[in-house]
Chain A
């Protein structure tokens, strides 16, 4: 098989996973013979689930009709958690061994409480990250939270989770993050092979495959891409920021209007792969220390607003001409960061497009706005 053909085959496989995550997860548990654990965003210690012999899979919502969730959430709740709760109520998560729910925003905190009320049959594993995350007491507290996660998952799995199991899992996840970073760096050089939609599919598929398998495929993909010459690229490059680049069809508009993705600052994509678990010492403490290394994320305490600078640097260093903000509707953390980085972008003369995204958004309107932004930059 030629390099390009193999690239297309790998991308097509990952696109199938990303398009039908539920089916992919079912296939995964069947093939590996291990139970699935649902993992809500953000920064959950998925490594612990892996070390307990389970398969962590992402829970990022994904349905436009969240009518059943209206029994728990008012209309102005974040579409991600409403959709996730709706899927839980419809039985999509039946059979999960547990649901790990971080509490980094109000939507997630109370998703956890409503989920536990609605589905007491699925074990609820909460984890509450500290905000004073760079202090020794913050790391010690998070280590204790992770210890509870470990003990609970060990109990569910009916096995011991040793330090060696955790070290192995951390190694696999760090390898995977490195592979993803290498791919995301290489992708913009090949816009005709890696369109915005395809790029997103590669990142999203990571949540519904075994991490080692995914890292191997992505590693192979990046290697093959590197062997190809860099395309000159007719499109205009932008950086996207926000929680996630959905609903489906949104990214096709980028391609349609000639926008290429130079880099992303999405919680579901680069932010999830940016920070490795550091080396050395007790594995639970290392996992806790990862949280203290996270930078430039709306969910992580950032009193100096380093995110402003990080985002501006990302745009400049990636050769992008502007920033597209994919603002998840009703997302307080992202909405609160926006005015401050917007001010710095305006001062630096870097164009910004603010696009509110939600599952039932009008793609027609988004097309018009992206079109004029593409013409402007």
Chain B
């Protein structure tokens, strides 16, 4: 790569490459896995087993407005339209023959599947069905919900034992032994990437923000796919340098407009209507400077500390109590210096939806930042209603403006 390459160009390059690499591995007869998005990837990276992430795959398909055909295919097979849109797109893709094209990345049919339920419960059912339908082994890494906040010792012991079991399963799968030295290296890289990810977030909080709108949702691809690789370190460092440069030059997120309002966007992006939501935000000078969602991949532990690793993976925000969900959002709003909050009532994501009302009441009580909720979906384009979104954003702008005036 040349010196003039931007972090975004590098990101796009790697985002395409992950699918091509998986297809290549498959063609070469190496086992390829499908995995949930916040899995302890360190084990698979160590064993050099390529993983493809169906949630990312479904998100890409949805953002490229190709979800509907797959959704209908899955629904025709018997999947209810109420269940997760990512899952329906994924099964639709399989039922359609798992073929890639210009918009649909070529995710090869897996030889094994890996499920870690540290941010979603129903995903276990998704992976059960994949394993059964494809006749492939399922490696289940169970991380029980933490209803009262802390990850207790019994949970740590349980997860640690599953890590040990997983190592044996991967050795059996590959016929190779698990290289502890390599594992330490991967842990070290992953730790550094998690640190850089956090650092990038702190920069996004600068006024005006050096990052634009849904930027960090894009960089997330790296954290999902390549959290244990040096390439990610390279892109994140470059992105951070770019943001630092913008801060030094006093540049904001938009070339042609001022950053007038800063918001926390709660939940997964509304991928099928990404362009519309981004356009409406921009028309008011709204920038997203915080989100609970990308934070899930900032998995932090000390290299070599497997207990700490178990605790870190089990502490993903969705796996924690309502109180912790509130604390996290208050922290995000403060760090991002957000004037308001937009909660995506994402029809697919019941984990977030089912406490949204209480969470937003408490976050508002703590921060005073006004908020709105809109109905949408991470994959299904039929849920979102533009008029509802537009009028609610307008209302939020009015609330943010009157709050600003009151503070002047």
Contacts and interface: CB of A to CB of B under 8 A. Distances in A.
Contacts of B121: 103, 105-106, 109, 332
Given A106-B354, A335-B83, A113 B321 contact: yes
A89 to B, nearest CB: 12
A304 interface: yes
Interface in B117-163: 117, 120-122, 124-129, 131-133, 138, 140, 142, 144-148, 152, 154-155, 157-158, 161-162
B77 interface: yes
Interface string B331-343: 0000000000000
Nearest to B160: A137
A110 B356 CA distance: 10
A contact residues, range: 35 or more
Interface stretch (A67-75, A246-254, A365-373): A67-75
B358 A138 contact: no
B129 A113 contact: no
B354 A131 contact: no
Interface string A130-142: 1110011110110
B131 A109 contact: no
Interface in A301-353: 301-305, 327, 329-330, 332-333, 335-340, 342-343
B154 A144 contact: yes
B324 to A, nearest CB: 10
B contact residues, range: 35 or more
Contact of A109 (B129, B140, B147): B147
Contact of A145 (B131, B140, B154, B321): B154
A128 B151 CA distance: 12
A38 B165 CA distance: 37
A298 B129 CA distance: 12
A132 B157 CA distance: 13
B168 to A, nearest CB: 12
Given A74-B354, A335-B80, A340-B133, A141 B154 contact: yes
Contact of B144 (A116, A130, A304): A130
B142 A304 contact: no
B6 interface: no
Interface of B: 77-80, 82-84, 87, 117, 120-122, 124-129, 131-133, 138, 140, 142, 144-148, 152, 154-155, 157-158, 161-162, 165, 321-322, 345, 347, 350-351, 353-358
What are the nearest 10 A-B pairs in CB distance? A339-B78, A144-B154, A110-B354, A137-B161, A141-B158, A336-B125, A126-B147, A131-B142, A113-B322, A128-B144
Given A76-B347, A144-B152, A336-B129, 19 more contacts: A72-B357, A74-B354, A76-B82, A77-B350, A101-B147, A106-B354, A107-B354, A110-B351, A113-B147, A113-B322, A128-B147, A137-B157, A137-B161, A141-B144, A145-B154, A301-B128, A303-B127, A303-B132, A342-B78
